[in-house]
Amino acid sequence: AQKVTQAQTEISVVEKEDVTLDCVYETRDTTYYLFWYKQPPSGELVFLIRRNSFDEQNEISGRYSWNFQKSTSSFNFTITASQVVDSAVYFCALQETSGSRLTFGEGTQLTVNP
Amino acid sequence: DGGITQSPKYLFRKEGQNVTLSCEQNLNHDAMYWYRQDPGQGLRLIYYSQIVNDFQKGDIAEGYSVSREKKESFPLTVTSAQKNPTAFYLCASSISSGGQFYNEQFFGPGTRLTVL
């Protein structure tokens, strides 16, 4: 069965620090998709990125970057030069070919202090 | 603007009462989903629907019911059989691509249900 583990429950940093959120997944499928979502205090989940299992290129979008390593089943998320507005809960999720459901990790609460 | 709306934002219910949470989307998405989120935890899938008049149970369907009579609407009823219904409920939708649902899910703002 699929599983997503976000071992860091809470992370606290000072503004402008870089921070990496870890995500480790388990799946038996060879084709799957990985996602990151942001949940600000308002509660709505905001989609950040989708990556399929055949694309191991790292991706950068502004201050955000993602490191996908199939060999270690990890899909880590780095925020460079963090800002207070980055404070939120971040979820990693896995979607297998066998169904449409997303399996979420338990989330990492990121707090960026001024 | 296109998006997903959920109402109400906050809902209070007495024990033993059924309550229905609304979810509407104008994104023309085929698939819709209901998730439950408890404090400090991830999202758990309650029900999902890939097409009108069809839906499937998720991981925690007991005590819940849904209907999908219209493409844009997917209401969730929390019945009195749900033993611990106090939680944050999120509705989502996604595009269907040839029967494969690998596209990202878009989420509504959520409904916070409290049982008194």
Minimal CA separation from B32 to chain A, in Å = 10
CA A99/CA A2 separation, integer angstroms = 11
pLDDT in tens, B31-54: 999 999 998 788 999 999 988 999
Cβ(A3)–Cβ(A10) below 8 Å: no
For residue B112, the chain A residues in CB contact (below 8 A) are 43
Instruction: State how beta strands A108-113 and A10-14 pair.
Output: parallel
Question: Residue B115 is inside which H or E element, if any?
Answer: strand B111-115
CB-based contact B31 A100, cutoff 8 Å: yes
% residues pLDDT > 70 (chain B)? 92
Classify residue A111 as left (phi > 0), alpha (psi -120 to 50) or beta: beta
Total residues belonging to chain A: 114
Judge if the upstream peptide bond of residue B8 is cis by omega within 30 degrees of 0.
yes
Q: Which residues of B touch A107 (CB under 8 A)?
A: 40-42
pLDDT score recorded for residue A99: 62
Tell me the mean pLDDT in the region B62-90: 94
Whether residues A104 and B31 touch (CB distance < 8 A) is answered with no
Do B8 and B111 touch, CB atoms closer than 8 A?
yes
Task: Please compute the mean of the pLDDT values over residues A84-91 and round it to a whole number.
Answer: 97
Mean pLDDT rounded to a whole number for chain A: 92
Q: Model confidence over A16-60: pLDDT tens digits?
A: 999 999 999 999 988 899 999 999 998 999 999 989 888 888 888
Strand partners, A75: A68
The rounded distance, in Å, linking the Cα atoms of B7 and B9 is: 5
In this structure, what are the phi and psi dihedrals at residue A85, rounded to the nearest 5 degrees? Answer: -70, -10
The pLDDT assigned to B40 comes to: 79
Confidence at residue B81, expressed as pLDDT on a 0 to 100 scale: 85
Please state, in angstroms and rounded to a whole number, the distance separating the CA atoms of residues B18 and B4.
23
Is there a contact between B58 and A101 if contact means CB atoms under 8 Å apart? yes
Distance from the A74 Cα atom to the nearest Cα atom in chain B, whole angstroms: 18
**Contact call for residues A110 and A91 (beta carbons, < 8 A):** no
d(CA B8, CA A4): 31
Amino acid code (one letter) for A27: T
Kindly give the residue spans of alpha helices, DSSP state H, lying in chain A: none
Nearest residue on chain B to A92, alpha-carbon basis? B42
Q: List, in sequence order, the alpha helices (H) in B37-115.
A: none
Q: What is the per-residue pLDDT for A98? A: 61
Rounded Cα distance, A94 and A26, in Å: 9
**Structure-block tokens of residue A60:** 């950068």
- The answer to whether residue B57 scores a pLDDT higher than 60 is yes
